[in-house]
Structure 1
Amino acid sequence: MMAWALRKLEFDPRTVSFVEHDVARLRARLRQRRWARGTRSAPVPRGVHLGCGARRVPGWLNCDVSGSECDIDLAAGRLPFADGSVDAVVMQHVVEHLELKGQLIPLLRELYRVCSDDAVLWLSCPDLAKVCAAYTADRGRALKEDRCRRWPDYSLDGAPVQQFVNDLFQARGRHRNLFDLELLAWALEQAGFRSVERIAEADLLAAHPGFPPRHDDEQSLYVRVCKSR
């Protein structure tokens, strides 16, 4: 209803999208509160796919802020799972959407809590080092061409190629941070994780072949994180 009213008042589509997202976050938090109070049974997964979007993977608990098997507001920094109950987590292109200290590190601490001692986290995000190197090399032209190969409808609407770098940093207001390996490892270490290894997308797909490939190694940082090693 609120989003409909904003459209009638001729707010720009991005404002409407942000309001819709915040409403979805509120609904997810209310569900999580019911889990915390014991008025609704919390899921008991072994493998969790956080920030799944439309990429639902069979055999995993696919979670997102709305319309998923288990709606969770990841920015709230709380997960409805028992201590040590999760064996694997996949979180692709999620961490860049969270504020570093107020949202991401609390979420990583929750992941540390819910993960079993032998659990493995598989994370990916835009790679700050690759983006900066690409800008220095050719103003980001190669990265933009890589994006267009994967997303044929992608367009800069006539802007010079340098705008693609801005798009990676901002994502139309949806990104909060970009990470290189050192910064992401630091954030994970604040949560208690100690083993952070750079990998390729192929390593994730070899371990969990049910996940659809993104073919985004040229732009992305992939890491494997172990709780106990």
Structure 2
Amino acid sequence: MASYIEFTFDHSNELVELLIEHIELVLQTLVFALPLGILLGVFIAYYQPAAVTVLWGAGVAMTIPSLALFGLLIPILGIGNPPVIVALVLYAQLPIIRNTYIGLTSVDQSIIEAGRGVGMTKWQRLYKLQIPIALPVMIAGIRNAIVILIGVATVGAYVGAGGLGFYIFTGIYQANVEMVVVTTIVVSLLALVFDYGFKSIEQILQLRNGEEIPLTWGAKLLTRALP
């Protein structure tokens, strides 16, 4: 245990730099993955015949081993962040698309009919009624996607993307147990922090939708801070 603590203090600056790189990589991925996944989820919610095909394709993308996918993308995009971001966007699609689809199709039809009755267009019903009600379910999908991205992004270091995976692969090559264990713990903690944060947001949205649920400490803080 002492060796792990010593390693953490001795390499704290490098760990922080790699942590920031890792977060940036995940956020860059989300910039592309979220709009794509949500748009596809909305599309299949309105065009049901395409649902099976789109969800099947997103599921297949998740089953492709990350190194194999990087290998397919490197000849096209080179090494570094681009092939990793494209691969991560593909890995993030299934939970985002599926939860968007489930959230939108689970909205009570009487609410949609009420919106139609007051003269709302299809798109007005979507962004004024369906999406606000479906948001907690959609956020749950984004939570799952982010946890997946944080884990898979470590493999991106193998093709020059940087992030915490750099220390994990370096530790494996050098047989440095402390480097591997400490970095793995940091990756796990990062995933837990993001998961907890989005869980708190999900609970606040559920609360605003009229659901009575036990709140996490983070959700309680947010309810006090938000109007």
Q: Which category describes the TM-score, using the shorter chain as reference length?
A: under 0.3
Choose 1 or 2 for highest CA Rg: 2
* TM-score normalised to structure 2 length: 0.27
Which structure would you say has the larger RCO, counting Cα contacts within 8 Å and 6 or more residues apart?
Answer: 2
Using structure 1 for the length normalisation, give the TM-score.
Answer: 0.27
Bigger strand fraction: 1
More helix by share: 2
